[in-house]
Structure 1
Amino acid sequence: MEAAEYFKDASAEPGATGTVEAVCVSVEKGTRKEARESVELVVGSGIAGDAHAGRWHRQVSLLGAESVDLMRDKGLPLEAGDFAENILTRGILLNQLPVGTVLEVGPALLAVTQIGKKCHNDCEIKRVTGMCVMPTDGIFTVVLRGGTVRAGDAVRVVPVGDL
């Protein structure tokens, strides 16, 4: 299947909607995140109990499930959290959102602060497949309004006029 097929139903337009497929946490840096039933987003910190929470610009990471599907087609048995994403979404082209975009994720509001990141040298996924999607497809956010987020929650690109 061509990459475009994975993203055919996704959009980055204001008002675009998607869903949360999974929420994930890791208690130590450098480990894969594990899926949870729900996570608590805390203003100015990120996800309660996550090793990457703190007062910085990468409080919560998001990745589109479409990108994970693309990697699964390379033969990898991937689970939510394997790319160290906190929130796995479907239906929104995350990497096409400009920095500053606000996302409503369940009851929470997140502001996009960074698109992608450098993949570290010992990335297991990159070693196996020759590529990793987090550097190009993942995004990072800060929490503007907290709340409990769980799989099945709606994700919406908030139009500027709605803020």
Structure 2
Amino acid sequence: MVSSVRAVHSSPTHDFSKDPMPSITLLEGIGVSGDAHAGTTVQHRSRMARDPSTPNLRQVHLIHGELFDQLSDEGFTVEPGSLGENITTRGVDLFELPVGTRLSIGEATVVVTGLRNPCRQIDDLQPGLMKRLVFKDDDGHVRRLAGIMGIVARGGVVRPGDQIIVDLPPPPHYPLTTV
């Protein structure tokens, strides 16, 4: 299966969900043009309150589209964009990527920085959803399924249907942690 973009989203406000778009433009070192989370320093409200000068490692939020299929099978009604992601993917196991992986997406390149640490607003979307996206697996490890974050290394336009090319960094590979 070829890895590709299922959908793209953006929002100029700090609403939880993002609107579907025909395309988004990624700006090098900044994020999604016109998105509330774009910037060289943190743009998430809770992180700005702690230290507004912190570098923005969360410029682009990606979620694997297969998650929406799984959630639907479990009775949730969640569509691409409703969890606040900018890019919904298909055919790439985002959680297996190490830190520093380069994703060529359309005309742009995103460098993976880490896992999204979801907030309790997820349960405002649908009760019980947070427990499905953050839980302990059978080995007692905390699993976070609310997507990954990245920074824009090369700007450009991204559209649904664009191919995603994965370029792993040289070893050693470091697993994703929350950013």
* Residue segments in structure 1 that go unaligned for 5+ positions in a row: 1-8, 10-16
Deviations 1:15-64 (A, max 9, x none): xx401000000111133101100000000100000011111110000000
2:14, 2:132 → 1: CA distance? 18
Of residues 25, 48, 52, the one that matches 2:33 is 48
Maintained 8 Å contact 1:126/1:132 = no
Q: Which residue of 2 aligns with 1:142?
A: 151
Q: What letter corresponds to residue 163 of structure 2 in structure 1?
A: A
Determine helix, strand or coil for the equivalent of 2:145.
helix
Matches within 5 A, 1:1-163: 17-55=2-40, 56-117=56-117, 119-123=118-122, 124-125=124-125, 127-129=127-129, 131-133=131-133, 135-160=144-169
Q: What letter corresponds to residue 101 of structure 1 in structure 2?
A: T
Determine helix, strand or coil for the equivalent of 1:131.
helix
Determine helix, strand or coil for the equivalent of 2:127.
helix
2:106, 2:31 → 1: CA distance? 15
Maintained 8 Å contact 1:74/1:129 = no
Determine helix, strand or coil for the equivalent of 1:22.
strand
Call closer, same or farther: CA 1:121–1:159 in 2, change over 3 Å.
closer
Maintained 8 Å contact 2:6/2:90 = yes
Deviations 1:101-122 (A, max 9, x none): 11110111110011231x2223
Deviation (angstroms), 1:74: 1.8
Determine helix, strand or coil for the equivalent of 1:49.
coil
Deviations 1:55-102 (A, max 9, x none): 111000000001111111122222210110100000000011011111
1:133, 1:26 → 2: CA distance? 22
TM-score by length of 1: 0.81
Q: Which residue of 2 aligns with 1:5?
A: none
State which structure, 1 or 2, has the greater radius of gyration over its C-alpha atoms: 2
Maintained 8 Å contact 1:95/1:116 = no
Maintained 8 Å contact 1:125/1:132 = no
Call closer, same or farther: CA 1:96–1:159 in 2, change over 3 Å.
closer
Maintained 8 Å contact 1:27/1:50 = yes
Call closer, same or farther: CA 1:130–1:145 in 2, change over 3 Å.
closer
2:129, 2:166 → 1: CA distance? 31
Determine helix, strand or coil for the equivalent of 1:67.
helix
